[in-house]
Structure 1
């Protein structure tokens, strides 16, 4: 049967554009509002030890794993996994569905941040930032549920954010995504550095830094601290749910993948550390002004930190409006660069499956996402819906995706040696058998512990104070919808068959730098041990 010509695949203009886009994807809201709180609650300065171990043993290895799949098989997540094995396409669509759901609520947080950028100038929250956020601004309903009661103050900024990101997406990889990151990421770094420097000169900043960095060495004997470190690295690097598979597929065939992975991994972690310094310097000022200690402050992570604690700080400090503009502009830019990567995962998958053009993919897929996002998250019940969906999708959906991907490729398909050879064939920095141990054994082992502990807790206790019917519907129900969507999309017919693709030939012998030590068994088929 004759098919229309397959559209030519887009590419980054070069390695610099890819690196900036990958860093932009990795640096998101969680770097600014999640890492400082996680570090503080898990040993302070001592947390940096398991954090670094997690980066080296899980974060960068899985980042390279995603790079190898996307770059070798030249496609979005469903395309690349199908080219690994037809039955693996389902996993690719599972990752796409996860991204689609995250997009729905991630966009509204960016809209909140953009609104607060303006609120900072006038300190619109007055003397009660908490009451303003949940009351005047979000108009949160008294009981959790799903309402159609639209909040105009949220809906309009949300609509504008959707128009902006879809316009960027419709321009394609080079003119849209790359250009947005080439401009946005340096601006983000400059703005955030300015915010951190201002925070460091506030009265009480040293107390905040002492609270952040003072090590609690006893925490290192707590398995929960190590799990928290792996969890933070895993979620902050944008790995195992299609983003880096998709992004690496646009790289030129001769690309230094392993060195790029190190740059992206350490750049992301450096920004997290910078965020911890800035956030805790500001919290130290807040504690001194209130005559209390960091330990007695509430809401030092997540939504509470960004939209309640920081407005309080802005109201207290001299030059607060400027500080507020810097903080919320940084938060908005960090969110936008990550949002674009999530959108590209979904758009690219639909473009390749159904033969859509770049603009069609952006408008059709993004348009549907925008309508659903507005319907669910510009209403008076947005906050509890967002909180619940985020909890279940992140702690169950994404972790399950990573476990399935590493186990499938390593133990079922037995393709990990091929991916190692691909990385070594295109990179100057060679990787050895240790990488297969980490990806095939350590990563799924650690993630399985995280997955089981999180799953048991959610099943036994639900989530927060929300009623069970609510968490069952929005939490487990959303996960069920993701799985169902993956099965349906897998079953649909491809416009252009991806099965004709032939990956580049690889050397028969693993390069010397990557060769296992003499006497080491590499059977069967040169797999992980």
Structure 2
């Protein structure tokens, strides 16, 4: 006997919706959305991108990108989830059956991101405790790659590193418990506690960094404007890429979260709060990171540009160096790595919820069953691929390709399909306008249907040509083909296959009284 799928008549739509769970208030939804948007990239990516693309002048293309692509796409995600009350695949299927594969593509992307994102959180957890006694000694780089990761030469091994495995299992245990507790008691409650903690911890870090010797030099390096950069197309491309990646849009998260919000919620007003809160945190991160890098440069007697780095290098090599040299360095370290841990957890639960919600909608499963069905395979894959001596190399490759040729490509295709394939934008705008404080009209439709796809398409094409011309990171070609191009292609193929397998009729989302009165 097969389990009824969505729309097969197992239960009234209202009952199915109630079983999915919901955020208790608009405030909780906003905190959860901010928690998803504010992640590791805000802390270690934005400062570097801004520095490399005009410094203070980068604020102009960054704000333009936020207003013309980031917020418009955020509203698109909100409209789909809030109108159709389902996971990404179900919401897109309810909009048009032709769009359902896009939802499963996004689910696949989220599964891939979740299995490696947890590993970076595990690094952060371990380094929070390393900071207390500065366990890396006088050689943070050697300690990270050697003692901690036991990284080997390029290749893939199954040699598990206990120092990574144990915190990784703890991270997965914590996250799966949060997911099991549900939308409000798990995701919502975690966001209500963790987001204020994140602001306090990172705010304290910024204040401490500002009083370090050389902090002013670091801030000067970050904010000194290079107005000539505004004529460089690559700078504008960097701004669109940054705002897009930092808002958690385009891969199902905000569709899923919006489906858990009350029907009469002001979604456009909520989107403005989330968008500007995310950008505000990125600015705060830039101040804190570059104040610390200014200290590092002064202590080493070099220019700031010689110590600037991003990503893994900034977090686990540059910052430990700062911690070792600064007075009160242990406090700086605990605040920094605890901030990474908290930001990572709130983002990971949002990523995983995309997959769990989709599985629940597709197979009509209870939350516990769905959490186990998703969480156990994710944990196994995470351990086998990323807690080994080759884990960092595989992580670097998968992260680069799934972001560029997964998230970005899926988002561009989704905008084109919804705007021009199924002509959904007018009805989606009308839905948000019903209770939204910011009314959407032709300008929004032009931004989503023309401006944002062209801007992000340019970013995508540039990244593709650069990657083909110069293989990423100097990694072996076979690893790039398997873990890079192969992973990006696999999530697309699997998404299409799932979408066209066991296709049951899709029951429309229940409508509220105001929609009935409007004849919708």
TM-score calculated relative to the size of structure 1: 0.94
* Structure 1 residue aligned with 2:365: 356
Match in the other structure for 1:286: 296
Instruction: State how far apart, in whole Å, the 1-side matches of 2:128 and 2:498 are.
Output: 39
1:392 aligns with 2:401: yes
- 1:98-497 equivalences under 5 Å are 98-143=109-154, 145-298=155-308, 300-493=309-502, 497=505
Please state if 1:13 is matched with 2:13: no
Superposition TM-score, scaled by structure 2 size: 0.95
Residue of 495, 509, 512 corresponding to 1:501: 509
Kindly indicate whether residue 52 of structure 2 is the aligned counterpart of residue 44 of structure 1: no
Pairing partner for 1:57 from 61, 68, 79: 68
1:27 pairs, out of 27, 38, 41, with 38
User: Structure 1's 340 and 86: CA in aligned 2 closer, same or farther, altered over 3 A?
Assistant: same
- Whole-angstrom distance in 1 between the partners of 2:117 and 2:476: 24
**Is residue 104–residue 373 contact of structure 1 (8 Å, CA) maintained in 2?**
yes
Q: Secondary structure at the match of 2:338?
A: helix
Mapped to 2, the partners of 1:507 and 1:448 lie a distance apart of 40
Higher alpha-carbon deviation: 381-390 or 481-490: 481-490
Q: Does the aligned pair in 1 maintain the 2:297–2:304 contact within 8 Å?
A: yes
Q: Deviations along 1:388-407, whole A, 9 cap, x unmatched?
A: 01111001111111111111
Cα pair 2:83 2:509 within 8 Å, conserved: no
Q: How many angstroms does 1:497 deviate by?
A: 4.6
Q: 1:78 aligns with which of 70, 80, 89?
A: 89
CA distance in 1, matches of 2:29, 2:509: 23
What residue is the counterpart of 1:525 in the other structure?
Answer: none
CA contact (8 A) 2:87 2:259 kept: yes
Q: After TM superposition, which residue ranges in structure 1, 4 or more long, deviate above 4 angstroms? A: 506-509
Shift of residue 146 of structure 1? 2.1
Cα offset for 1:481?
A: 1.5
Contact 1:134–1:140 (Cα < 8 Å) also in 2: yes
SS at 1:464 equivalent: helix
Could you tell which deviates more after superposition, 484-493 or 323-332? 484-493
Task: Tell me if structure 2 keeps the 8 A contact 1:29–1:334.
Answer: yes
Name the SS for the 1:469 alignment partner: helix
- Comparing 350-359 with 27-36, greater Cα deviation is found at 350-359
CA contact (8 A) 1:76 1:246 kept: yes
Paired with 1:160 and 1:317, the residues of 2 have a C-alpha distance of: 30
498-507 or 71-80, which deviates more: 498-507
Cα displacement (A) at 1:178: 0.1
1:502 positional shift:
5.4
Q: Deviations over 1:98-154 (max 9, x none)?
A: 0000001100000000000010001010111001111100011112x2211100100
Structure 1 spans left out of the alignment, 5+ residues: 510-529
Separation in 1, partners of 2:125, 2:148: 13
* CA pair 131-62 structure 1, distance change in 2 beyond 3 A: same
Q: Tell me the C-alpha RMSD between the 2 structures.
A: 1.5
Residue correspondences, number: 506
Q: 2-side partners of 1:493 and 1:250: how far apart?
A: 26
Aligned-pair CA distance for 1:491:
2.7
